[in-house]
Structure 1
Amino acid sequence: MDKEAGSMNNQVLDRNGNEIEIEAFHPGEFLKEEIEERNILKKDVAKSLNILPHHLSEIFAGKRNISATLAVKLEKLLGISFHYWLGMQMEYDLFIAKKEEALLG
């Protein structure tokens, strides 16, 4: 597949039709916003997820990833599909991998 055909997926264009690169963000950032929006205490979230509060902080900071197990627990806790959490994590991981590859080559 050529580069042009492969770049048609998830493309965002400006007014002139030029592709705009969108910075992906770690799903932990979204998780933090969701918890704050719902006024849930972080210590209660950590307890519900059966993780240490420090680990939750690391997820918020993008230092720990959303695993399949954690995604299932988040679905139960927040009612947001585990597919959503895993998809967001995968998109972030791919974004980082592409960025690193571009720097190398």
Structure 2
Amino acid sequence: MPKQKQNPLATNNMRPIHPGEVLREEFLMPYQLTAHALSMALQVPAPRINDIVREKRAITVDTALRLAKFFGNSAEFWMGLQTDFDMAVARWSVQDALDRIRVFQPDKA
């Protein structure tokens, strides 16, 4: 029986967390900030932050730098969230191909 492709929503019984969810739940809501107010503070177009918060857009390096400056954390924090999310989604989308790739084992002479 072929191995069934595992949905990223089921990996470790946890779905991948979009950085927009972290921004919304851990930063905007506790501080009672709106996406519009944040976009003004970061000096970026409002749709950029709105789309991130709605989990429809990725965080770019530019946005990560601005978020880090505003919230006093690191750009690496924001990019790490994005990378983790992207890896989980990509792993799911190419799982069938990955399952067919053999691990390289050089000949031992």
- Whether the TM-score (by the shorter chain) exceeds 0.5 is yes
Q: d(CA) in 2 for partners of 1:51 and 1:103?
A: 39
Which has the greater radius of gyration? Answer: 2
Q: Is residue 60 from structure 1 mapped to residue 53 from structure 2 by the alignment? A: yes
Q: How does the TM-score come out when normalised to structure 2? A: 0.70
- How far has the Cα of 1:79 moved from its partner? 1.3
- How far has the Cα of 1:21 moved from its partner? 4.6
Letter paired with 1:61: R
Q: How does the TM-score come out when normalised to structure 1? A: 0.72
Gaps of 5+ in 2: 1-10, 100-109
Q: d(CA) in 2 for partners of 1:48 and 1:87?
A: 22
Stretches (4+) displaced over 4 A: none
The equivalent position to 1:87 in structure 2, one of 80, 88, 97, is 80
Matched residue pairs, number?
87
Letter paired with 1:53: A
Q: Is residue 36 from structure 1 mapped to residue 29 from structure 2 by the alignment? A: yes
RMSD: 1.9
Match of 1:11 in 2: none
The equivalent position to 1:27 in structure 2, one of 19, 30, 46, is 19
